[in-house]
Amino acid sequence: MSTRYLSGVQPSGQLHLGNYFGAIRPHILHQDDAFYFIANYHAMTTLHDAAKLRRNTFEAATTYLALGLDPNRAVFFRQSDVPEVTELSWLLSTVTGMGLLERAVSYKEKVERGITPNVGLFYYPVLMAADILAYDADVVPVGTDQVQHLEMTRDMAGYFNNTFCGEGEPPVFKLPKTQLGTPQPVPGLDGAKMSKSYGNHIPIFARGKELKALVMAIKTDSTPLEAPKNPDGDTVFALYSLFATPEKVAALRDKYERGGYGYGHAKLDLLKEIEATFAPAHERLAELERHPDDVEDILRDGARRAREVARAVTERARRACGLV
């Protein structure tokens, strides 16, 4: 029996390197029996511009497809095209305690960063749980910032199963496992976790002068060029390590520690690695953008396949709690 992978990405702005290493690249590596969706409902917790949401959703779709997602292998769809998840989120909310949601670190961090809280942002983990449980997912590849939400998903599934499934009856929901995309969050221009919300991100498909300006703006310390530098804790080195081969990373570490090599040099080396990594995808992206109807067809077919599974899971849940 194959292992089913499930994950999603928010279309709340340009997808960036944090999205790539934390989610997209792991998704591309596991495409067989995988369900990947564009989480446009989740984006609405902070994005209230209809035209921008539509544009961001299209850009998220073309980004995934350009980077190598094959819709003939993975089920790729828009979250909002599967309405069963909103019903499941309500069913889960009736057995989920307020205390569980109040402990969500992601919610607290966003509020601390100045994002105006709304009910949707607070409710986010419940909808995320429904997204995962609707497809009988076995494994959810995520970044470290989403690990707590996966634990909450398992808690909610357990609450529901314990409440509505009698002794000897099969559980309605599977308990999914977590798979980390990167050991640590991808750092942004300021050294904090890269995030669109924080404005410290590097878009995946930035290129030319825009990309160079962003890379050269990465914050570093004031160690002079001739002095040795500590690569550990340096944002440029951390980003370079995500792109380059182990041999290149070891060589860069040696340059840092010997001295005579400035942060400006390191940034230019990072720039080369980023450009080389995404060059083939730029060509595929241009082709997809010329054929938006083909992209729409892919998303609609993915939604059709996703709903077949979600309907069956929702029916189990409805029967268990007495709605059928």
Q: Give a yes or no: residue 95 inside a domain.
A: yes
Based on the domain organization, do 139 and 172 belong to the same domain? yes
Q: What is the total count of domains within the chain?
A: 2
Q: Give a yes or no: residue 195 inside a domain.
A: no
pLDDT recorded at residue 183: 66
State pLDDT tens for residues 125-168: 999 999 999 999 999 887 677 788 889 999 999 999 999 998 88
Based on the domain organization, do 228 and 104 belong to the same domain? no
Task: Return left, alpha or beta for 93; rule: phi > 0 is left, psi -120 to 50 is alpha, else beta.
Answer: alpha
Based on the domain organization, do 221 and 255 belong to the same domain? yes
Backbone torsions φ then ψ of 245, nearest 5 degrees: -70, 160
Averaged over 227-231, what is the pLDDT?
96
Based on the domain organization, do 67 and 94 belong to the same domain? yes
Full residue range of the structural domain in which residue 163 is found:
5-186+292-320
- Where helices occur in the chain by DSSP H, the ranges are 17-19, 25-29, 40-43, 50-66, 84-93, 98-102, 105-112, 119-133, 147-164, 208-216, 235-243, 246-258, 263-289, 292-320
Tokens for 109? 């961090």
CATH, residue 24: 3.40.50.620
CATH, residue 260: 1.10.240.10
State pLDDT tens for residues 192-201: 999 887 899 9
Based on the domain organization, do 166 and 315 belong to the same domain? yes
Q: Give a yes or no: residue 302 inside a domain.
A: yes
Based on the domain organization, do 218 and 169 belong to the same domain? no
Averaged over 98-103, what is the pLDDT?
88
SS3 303: helix
Q: Give a yes or no: residue 197 inside a domain.
A: no
- With a threshold of 0.85, does the pTM exceed it? yes
Task: Report whether 322 contacts 165 (CB < 8 A).
Answer: no
Closest CA relative to residue 128, chosen from 101, 102, 109, 108 = 101
State pLDDT tens for residues 170-227: 999 999 998 876 667 899 999 999 988 789 999 999 999 999 999 999 999 999 999 9
Based on the domain organization, do 138 and 261 belong to the same domain? no
